[in-house]
Chain A
């Protein structure tokens, strides 16, 4: 993009266009012959990874928007229908939701790389500031996207974040009203957030073009921080950088696919599988993991306005980085002190992220304050001071000289560090759901756990029987249709069996020609009817506590795994907190209440229920449901079967997900190897 190109296409048609619009020359000079420093390491591939992720988010997002309904009463259900009924909807949704996290993960690596190698210094200040603007736009987009599923965390996240603006003196309240379009977070809020969530990615794409433009004018920085001087210092962008970026993207895709296919809910919050309820605040409101450090800063400050200012300053301060750090040496490679402080800063950020997920009490508040001071001290004290007192090591004269002196660093160690750091950072979210007075449920041996997990058909069929005969008296299963019983990966009934099963039910339909509602036998397309006409009726009939819908219960319940288990879970793919909890609660009823626990009248003691006082009486007892296949008719077996059934109800395409995951992994690993060897070949003469 720097200056007119003398590129001449050989094809006459292309020549014709080129004379009128030199677009091929632009592409040729920017992405083919563009000189890129020879010594770039793999941290530089994150630029390409980010472009890829932006494209991925826009592509999946546009398709998701075709199926999504931005209305407060329908949004939650439409997301569930995407996952259950749209062709590969589960894949699209996982790619988009996990993609947001991956996008932020990559942007943090990209930013820290810029910080470490001094990529913000003269002449790249504008490039850096454009990057900060992209990051701000990403935060806004990510936040509004998280609101769209309209679960509990969506709703309350939106409430907390929009209320931040009420701290602004004089105009705060009017700004909040403008954001809401009403007197509180509600349907107008959801509508405008959907509109903006669709708009902002295209703004990001626009700023990315400016970002790349500025990059190609100033040229890329490099690990040694010396500008390329001769042709020996650079290699052409294509094929060298393209193939290296391709390999980087392939490796990144492995991490991405790990989440998409094997642990799509690891990064989310179980509470978001509960539909938004303006009358109940979840006990722990936690933002997505990528906002946690800033959330920790917000909460560390006891004054509301000051807290909001501190939180925004923590991001805005990045814009001033080029002037705060005036050291002449760019790369921290040659700055012994700056290097150490950089790593301390990284640790501070990770710890702040951890604290952001903790309840704001006791030691966490004090630690949060100390770390907030450290965060700002790095920018306001350490960097300005270092640039004055530090004696940098001698910088090589040129890039080619640096390469000759270079000790070969193992890429593997970088990859390992990357995965470990990522797991540590993202996993903190899980910890937010600390124990709330319930004993931790024991683990179970689920047929559906692990990368090759599949549902035990017998357990599904028995679980359906338990649900039908026991649970369905009080609990709805409103997202599951009778036709689902005959679908692949389900209980394995034939279409005729599912139709027969449906016809046992009476479904309310109408109005008919006389304008009256009538009852008819169920059809496969009908959904399981709810035992109560509405939530109020359910509440009134059950002593004030409405029995929750069970369609998503195994995904909507969880318990804190704590450090370091959430890191282990990342590798072991443990995803069964929900089923473990449900099975434990079903078996956790005890007649004898332990000393020191008081159970209010109308409630029952349950060992695993948070707070121990549950409104549901003991639902299952030995021999209550008869089994035809000779399985033991015990409470433990009932609990196991019905939990398996409910897991299927919550995740009907799990088998397809894990099966496709395996295929994708085989492909990606082969592809990554191919890219790696191609890259080696291309670079053979350049090292």
Chain B
């Protein structure tokens, strides 16, 4: 009952062009049936994410560990709430990040859980920068 070959094949890596995404904007792409949020963060969002003491977080992880160095403005996360799998809404909630409408979890501008029932941060999918304006997810 595990995924069949065609499902696995359809889950191959995809390339996403980032050049049309302006600062402060974000796009949602689908990979393996899951929504992936790619946010072009503002300076303010990055500073906010880095100002929080890591130890105080429910799922301690530094912002640096969640983005690729040299591309700090780009946050790439799987847009699936780690609680029960709903899709959080970007640019909502009290932390300049994501808000899940189902059970009220709130994530910050680094996709880290800050408030609510979700146990973990929004997952970061495997991805690499092919060039400065293009990433490959998967």
Chain B contacts of A307 at CB under 8 A? 117
**Which one, A48-56, A155-163, A264-272, A341-349, is touching chain B?**
A155-163
Query: Which of A162, A183, A278, A279 neighbours the largest number of chain B CB atoms within 10 Å of its CB?
Result: A183
Partner of B33, one of A162, A182, A361: A182
Whole-angstrom distance between the Cβ of B98 and the nearest chain A Cβ: 12
* A281 lies within 8 A of chain B by Cβ: yes
CA distance A279 to B79 in the complex (A): 10
A285 near B86: Cβ-Cβ < 8 Å: yes
- Sample (29) of A-B pairs whose CB atoms are under 8 Å apart: A156-B86, A159-B84, A159-B85, A160-B102, A162-B85, A163-B83, A163-B85, A177-B2, A181-B4, A182-B32, A183-B7, A183-B11, A183-B34, A184-B32, A188-B4, A192-B1, A278-B33, A279-B35, A281-B101, A285-B86, A299-B103, A302-B117, A303-B119, A304-B83, A304-B118, A305-B119, A307-B117, A360-B117, A361-B104
Known: A160-B84, A164-B84, A283-B101. 16 other contacts (CB 8 A): A163-B83, A178-B1, A178-B2, A181-B2, A181-B7, A183-B3, A184-B80, A188-B7, A192-B1, A281-B86, A281-B101, A285-B102, A299-B117, A304-B119, A305-B119, A361-B104
A360 near B32: Cβ-Cβ < 8 Å: no
CA distance A359 to B32 in the complex (A): 30
* A186 lies within 8 A of chain B by Cβ: yes
Which residue of chain A has the shortest Cβ distance to B33 in the bound complex? Answer: A184
A160 near B86: Cβ-Cβ < 8 Å: yes
Chain A contacts of B86 at CB under 8 A? 156, 159-160, 281, 285
Whole-angstrom distance between the Cβ of A272 and the nearest chain B Cβ: 16
CA distance A514 to B101 in the complex (A): 52
Chain A contacts of B35 at CB under 8 A? 278-279
CA distance A30 to B4 in the complex (A): 48
Among B11-33, those with CB < 8 Å from A are 11, 28, 30, 32-33
* A404 lies within 8 A of chain B by Cβ: no
Chain B contacts of A278 at CB under 8 A? 30, 33, 35
Residues of A within 8 A of B (CB): 156, 159-160, 162-164, 166, 177-178, 180-186, 188, 192, 278-281, 283-285, 299, 302-305, 307, 359-361
Whole-angstrom distance between the Cβ of A174 and the nearest chain B Cβ: 9
Chain B contacts of A185 at CB under 8 A? 33
Partner of A281, one of B28, B87, B117, B119: B87
Chain A contacts of B84 at CB under 8 A? 159-160, 163-164
Whole-angstrom distance between the Cβ of A544 and the nearest chain B Cβ: 13
B101 near A186: Cβ-Cβ < 8 Å: no
Chain A contacts of B100 at CB under 8 A? 281
Which residue of chain B has the shortest Cβ distance to A305 in the bound complex? Answer: B119
Among B80-119, those with CB < 8 Å from A are 80, 83-87, 100-104, 117-119
Chain A contacts of B34 at CB under 8 A? 183-184
Whole-angstrom distance between the Cβ of B87 and the nearest chain A Cβ: 5
Which residue of chain B has the shortest Cβ distance to A179 in the bound complex? Answer: B1
Whole-angstrom distance between the Cβ of A199 and the nearest chain B Cβ: 14
Query: Which of A156, A182, A278, A284 neighbours the largest number of chain B CB atoms within 10 Å of its CB?
Result: A182
Partner of B104, one of A178, A186, A303, A360: A360
CA distance A159 to B118 in the complex (A): 15
CA distance A177 to B7 in the complex (A): 12
Chain A contacts of B28 at CB under 8 A? 279
Which residue of chain B has the shortest Cβ distance to A160 in the bound complex? Answer: B84
Whole-angstrom distance between the Cβ of A303 and the nearest chain B Cβ: 7
A177 near B3: Cβ-Cβ < 8 Å: yes
Instruction: Please report the total number of B residues contacting A with Cβ < 8 Å.
Output: 26
Chain B contacts of A177 at CB under 8 A? 2-3
CA distance A160 to B7 in the complex (A): 21
A280 near B7: Cβ-Cβ < 8 Å: no
Whole-angstrom distance between the Cβ of A245 and the nearest chain B Cβ: 41
Chain A contacts of B1 at CB under 8 A? 178, 181, 192
CA distance A314 to B76 in the complex (A): 39
CA distance A178 to B3 in the complex (A): 7
CA distance A282 to B34 in the complex (A): 16
Chain B contacts of A280 at CB under 8 A? 87
CA distance A303 to B113 in the complex (A): 13
Which residue of chain A has the shortest Cβ distance to B11 in the bound complex? Answer: A183
Whole-angstrom distance between the Cβ of A433 and the nearest chain B Cβ: 13
Which residue of chain B has the shortest Cβ distance to A303 in the bound complex? Answer: B119
Whole-angstrom distance between the Cβ of A566 and the nearest chain B Cβ: 22
B 17-56 to A, binary, CB cutoff 8 A, 1 in contact else 0: 0000000000010101111000000000000000000000
B3 near A182: Cβ-Cβ < 8 Å: yes
B117 near A279: Cβ-Cβ < 8 Å: no
Which residue of chain A has the shortest Cβ distance to B87 in the bound complex? Answer: A281
Chain A contacts of B2 at CB under 8 A? 177-178, 181
Which residue of chain A has the shortest Cβ distance to B79 in the bound complex? Answer: A279
B87 near A188: Cβ-Cβ < 8 Å: no
Whole-angstrom distance between the Cβ of A189 and the nearest chain B Cβ: 10
Whole-angstrom distance between the Cβ of A269 and the nearest chain B Cβ: 14
B87 near A279: Cβ-Cβ < 8 Å: yes
CA distance A305 to B84 in the complex (A): 11
Whole-angstrom distance between the Cβ of A546 and the nearest chain B Cβ: 15
Query: With contacts A177-B3, A280-B87 known, is A183 near B33, CB below 8 A?
Result: yes
CA distance A163 to B34 in the complex (A): 14
Partner of B32, one of A164, A178, A181, A183: A183
Chain A contacts of B7 at CB under 8 A? 181-183, 188
Chain B contacts of A361 at CB under 8 A? 104
Which residue of chain A has the shortest Cβ distance to B28 in the bound complex? Answer: A279
Which residue of chain A has the shortest Cβ distance to B7 in the bound complex? Answer: A182
Chain B contacts of A162 at CB under 8 A? 85
Whole-angstrom distance between the Cβ of B112 and the nearest chain A Cβ: 16
Which residue of chain A has the shortest Cβ distance to B120 in the bound complex? Answer: A304
Chain B contacts of A360 at CB under 8 A? 103-104, 117
Chain B contacts of A283 at CB under 8 A? 101
Which residue of chain A has the shortest Cβ distance to B100 in the bound complex? Answer: A281
CA distance A307 to B83 in the complex (A): 11
Which residue of chain B has the shortest Cβ distance to A308 in the bound complex? Answer: B84
B102 near A281: Cβ-Cβ < 8 Å: yes
Query: With contacts A163-B84, A178-B1, A299-B103 known, is A186 near B117, CB below 8 A?
Result: no
CA distance A156 to B80 in the complex (A): 12
Whole-angstrom distance between the Cβ of B83 and the nearest chain A Cβ: 6
CA distance A588 to B7 in the complex (A): 46
CA distance A68 to B14 in the complex (A): 34
Chain B contacts of A159 at CB under 8 A? 84-86
Which residue of chain A has the shortest Cβ distance to B80 in the bound complex? Answer: A184
Which residue of chain B has the shortest Cβ distance to A301 in the bound complex? Answer: B117
CA distance A279 to B80 in the complex (A): 10
